[in-house]
Amino acid sequence: MMDSALGIFMGLMIGAGCRWFDIPLPAPPKLVGALLVVAMTLGFIGATWMIEGIAG
pLDDT in tens, 14-52: 777 877 888 876 667 788 878 888 888 888 888 888 888
Q: What pLDDT is attached to residue 56?
A: 64
Q: What pLDDT is attached to residue 45?
A: 84
State the residue range of the domain holding 43.
2-55
**How many domains are contained in the chain?**
1
Residue 8 to residue 31: CA distance in whole angstroms: 19
Of the pLDDT bands very low, low, confident and very high (cuts 50, 70, 90), residue 1 is confident
Q: Helix, strand, coil shares of the chain as percentages rounded to 5?
A: 80, 0, 20
CA distance readout (Å), 21 to 13, 14, 18, 24, 55? 12, 11, 5, 9, 43
Distance, CA of 19 to chain centre: 17
Q: What is the pTM of this model?
A: 0.49
